[in-house]
Structure 1
């Protein structure tokens, strides 16, 4: 088998068809890779007594956990001969390797420093230094995690169709050393029988949730045997194309504010047809067998408070917050269920006490320890950014992290009442996963006297405004009286009075109409006459006031005065039309012979409708004139 095919098999960059799987089941010779000279020398020093390789597919990220028993070929090796080599496919190392760590498997679980070494023959070599005390037989624990390696196949499925994933890898553990005994175990997420999986090299055992390859004896260095598994899994592959965590430290309030922004993409099998809300509602019991994501859970620190959540169009999704003794939980239900190929953007945040993450290590020196990873589990952040905003006046900023980050930069940002700005540290990385327990440690100096800086700025600002106001009030900037402004101010007073009078007249008009409707049912003419009398008296006073305003306004603006006079005429006309119609109805009611004459009734109704139409038209004209007066 040629090397490019191997690399594709290891990385999942191409799909293995059924015919290719059948070929892999057959025994086939494979050319061995040749290591670089330094690695060739190391091959003479170590042999792997046993290799127990576990490929964990219980989650939607490809995890490989390997226990290696390393046996020196010569127990008299010197300290300089403790360099041990590991290998990764070069393309995987550059693109999809999210975590690579090596520990000595003992009580302490010592983590060994990994150094990238030479790249040779499509492989990237790494070195670790075995502790001097472990010369002799050494047990190492190697953990590798790859993103974008678990691929849905078929790529598109129907709404209620189960989801299948495929992975491609190596049935042998890729190592530059010979192995006396190797075994690879593939852990599946459930007991369902995989659609297809590689059945060679023998022996291959299928048991419960596992597929066991081996044990294989006397495996050559850099040996590989393509492995393919096509299996069912309802879990979603969730990628945050953009994940940003904002942290703002406040010594004044003893508070740390945190906000996390997400642009989430569901990278599971996409919907083949359009989404049906009806089918979704009717198939609630079958949702657990599909890849739909109906809710998300964020685990927040203990003591989180002032929790908030919003998506791109506001807080229209459902969310619940629960604060327990050990941690807090924010449950989020998006506005719509997430299927493969769909995306959802939101941000949530909270406040915590500063003492949760901030420690004082000397008189004026503090250390801020922050977790970088997302608070929502099982999300891979393709592009992750942490922005830590320190208090104004912080200096001597130092950043340390166990993560392999792409960039660390410092800047100054300004917020409310800032005078010199706040130092901000921005850290960017890629392929951030849950397993990365990376803590960002930011050390800085901060004089507690700086706490008075902001109140002092407020005091100076207030004092400055006060003096400016005093100086301004004593200056006379006027050259001559502003006739136009004086005219406009007087007209504005008239507009307010006119608006109030018209409102009063409209209320009185409505009261009369209501009283007339009451008269039609009670026939109480005496009460109606009393309402008429009161309304006429009030209207006379209002029209007299409007006349006075019209007279005075004409002296300032003739057009304005004419408009007011027109308004008076329209108000009177509206009252006259309504009263005429009401009098006609009273006469109709008094004539008892009209009760049985349907023709007269129809005529009366027509006359009423005509009068009401005139009233409506007059109301529109009144509103128009009033609007013109208000301009």
Structure 2
């Protein structure tokens, strides 16, 4: 029993040591610049780092720390650097399985080992969702919306930093919300379109302190709770039919009292930037051909005429202004030329390339379901995604004139996506032979022929009901004579009476 207790204590000490010192500090940040862009309905952070190898051996891995509170609100984490030709290239990264109360760590893999005493410049780009909070939550309809944002005041790094700057971009009416003194002071400098803070002393690694600001935003926080995106591939019509169903919420400031349409028009709020959703802009890919006569837009009530397609962009105006906390749902659809999306790899193999979404401008997507319907008889070869996703679901679904298994349906699920990621493409490779293409119309023609032949045979069968006597069919002449005799008998009976 005592040995077990001793082992438990030793294990606890080792675990605690790993929690506070998960890795050796082989690097030092000679320069660290963190910029926070709040111009969108989501936060874009950029961390520009100039790292110095202070270890005695070459190093090719750098550990980047992310506040644990942001783990599930991170839409994108991307490492970038400039190669020898001056072009921007990506750095490989993966999450480390290290327990820590404050940080989540990522391993950033450099393209080559960095010698001791040498520097390596790179940047980390982050997209964070659900970071803006209305401040206050309820406001009058005509007032400006104020948002609150909280971020780490110091570098998101386990390594010591010698020179540090923190900048906020596109924050109108900027204001600080600091209740206590900063342990490592930051000197503020107001610029024309940004606010810059500069550290006056080195900052130790793993430093964290919530730094809250407020700013004015005269635009809604468009949040798409659900997007169901269906793509139907048709080789016969050489078209790609797309349909999207949206469930939208405005996460902006709520009204402090009931909505008044009279006050809304008297204040002319529809004529100026406002925190209510009055229009949704959906831009389309300029390189793709869209059949504009196929565009449609409906909601739960029915067709809505307040929409406009102009210069590859669909502008939708809901039936009512969508204020903070209000919801709206609608469906749009259109047809595109399949040649813009599909390439023929060989005689029987095709490659379909499509965007993850087209999407509302300046919006955040919580849950996206992407369904791709391949022609009946198609066979999936493989697929490629721009980022990690759950395993796809392969099934079949019947549509018009489907006879055997139905269309091959591929279902992909994504979450925490923003509209700036809509250019990322999904590639699907599948087999679909010429025989598969003509098999369906031949089968349809065969079954239609059987139906017509069955109808012809049924028309030749006499299904009329005729009288019988003593189990024998009575002919028409016998029936007439029987009826005539019956009539004569009736006349005689009447005469006798």
User: What's the TM-score, normalizing by structure 2?
Assistant: 0.83
Contact 1:247-1:259 within 8 A present in 2 as well: yes
Post-superposition CA distance 1:242-286 (Å, at most 9, x none): 111110111111111111110000010011111111111111168
Aligned residue for 2:88, secondary structure, equals coil
Match of 1:315 in 2: 303
Contact 2:145-2:217 within 8 A present in 1 as well: yes
Q: Kindly tell me: are residues 272 and 34 of structure 1, through their superposed partners in 2, closer, same or farther at Cα, counting changes over 3 Å?
A: farther
Aligned residue for 1:449, secondary structure, equals helix
Q: Does 1:62 align with 2:26?
A: no
Give the distance between the partners of 2:408 and 2:199, measured in 1 at CA. Answer: 57
Matched ranges for 1:182-261 at <5 A = 182-190=164-172, 192-194=173-175, 196=177, 200=182, 201-261=185-245
Larger radius of gyration: 1
Aligned residue for 1:169, secondary structure, equals strand
Give the distance between the partners of 1:152 and 1:411, measured in 2 at CA. Answer: 43
Match of 1:109 in 2: 88
Which of 328, 333, 338 is residue 344 of structure 1 equivalent to?
328
Higher relative contact order (CA 8 A, sep 6+): 2
Give the distance between the partners of 2:64 and 2:375, measured in 1 at CA. Answer: 44
Match of 1:84 in 2: 62
Contact 2:92-2:110 within 8 A present in 1 as well: no
Matched ranges for 1:295-306 at <5 A = 295-301=279-285, 302-305=288-291, 306=294
Contact 2:174-2:213 within 8 A present in 1 as well: no
Give the distance between the partners of 1:195 and 1:227, measured in 2 at CA. Answer: 8
Give the distance between the partners of 2:209 and 2:188, measured in 1 at CA. Answer: 13
**Which of the two has greater strand per residue?**
2
1:118 Cα deviation after fit: 2.0
Give the distance between the partners of 2:221 and 2:178, measured in 1 at CA. Answer: 21
Aligned residue for 2:150, secondary structure, equals strand
Match of 1:431 in 2: 416
Match of 1:466 in 2: 452
Give the distance between the partners of 2:445 and 2:336, measured in 1 at CA. Answer: 29
Q: Kindly tell me: are residues 121 and 279 of structure 1, through their superposed partners in 2, closer, same or farther at Cα, counting changes over 3 Å?
A: same
Match of 1:401 in 2: 385
Contact 1:57-1:189 within 8 A present in 2 as well: yes
Post-superposition CA distance 1:124-177 (Å, at most 9, x none): 111121111665321111011111111111111111111110011111111011
Match of 2:73 in 1: 96
Q: Does 1:367 align with 2:344?
A: no
1:100 Cα deviation after fit: 0.8
Contact 2:142-2:269 within 8 A present in 1 as well: no
Give the distance between the partners of 1:109 and 1:37, measured in 2 at CA. Answer: 34
1:397 Cα deviation after fit: 3.3
Aligned residue for 2:411, secondary structure, equals strand
Count of aligned residue pairs for this structure pair: 438
Post-superposition CA distance 1:203-226 (Å, at most 9, x none): 122333322121344211111232
Q: Kindly tell me: are residues 329 and 458 of structure 1, through their superposed partners in 2, closer, same or farther at Cα, counting changes over 3 Å?
A: same
Match of 2:104 in 1: 124
Q: Does 1:165 align with 2:147?
A: yes
Contact 2:248-2:328 within 8 A present in 1 as well: yes
Aligned residue for 1:280, secondary structure, equals helix
Give the distance between the partners of 1:402 and 1:294, measured in 2 at CA. Answer: 33
Match of 1:497 in 2: none
Contact 2:60-2:113 within 8 A present in 1 as well: no
Match of 2:264 in 1: 280
Which of 24, 40, 44 is residue 23 of structure 2 equivalent to?
40
Post-superposition CA distance 1:489-521 (Å, at most 9, x none): xxxxxxxxxxxxxxxxxxxxxxxxxxxxxxxxx
Contact 1:51-1:173 within 8 A present in 2 as well: yes
Specify every segment of 5 or more residues in structure 1 that has no aligned partner in the other structure, as ranges.
Answer: 1-32, 482-631
**Which of the two has greater helix per residue?**
1
Match of 1:15 in 2: none
Give the distance between the partners of 1:397 and 1:240, measured in 2 at CA. Answer: 32
Cα RMSD (Å): 2.1
Give the distance between the partners of 1:378 and 1:54, measured in 2 at CA. Answer: 19
Match of 1:600 in 2: none
Q: Does 1:383 align with 2:367?
A: yes
Contact 1:197-1:230 within 8 A present in 2 as well: no
Post-superposition CA distance 1:579-623 (Å, at most 9, x none): xxxxxxxxxxxxxxxxxxxxxxxxxxxxxxxxxxxxxxxxxxxxx
Aligned residue for 2:202, secondary structure, equals strand
User: What's the TM-score, normalizing by structure 1?
Assistant: 0.66
1:410 Cα deviation after fit: 0.7
Give the distance between the partners of 1:55 and 1:245, measured in 2 at CA. Answer: 31
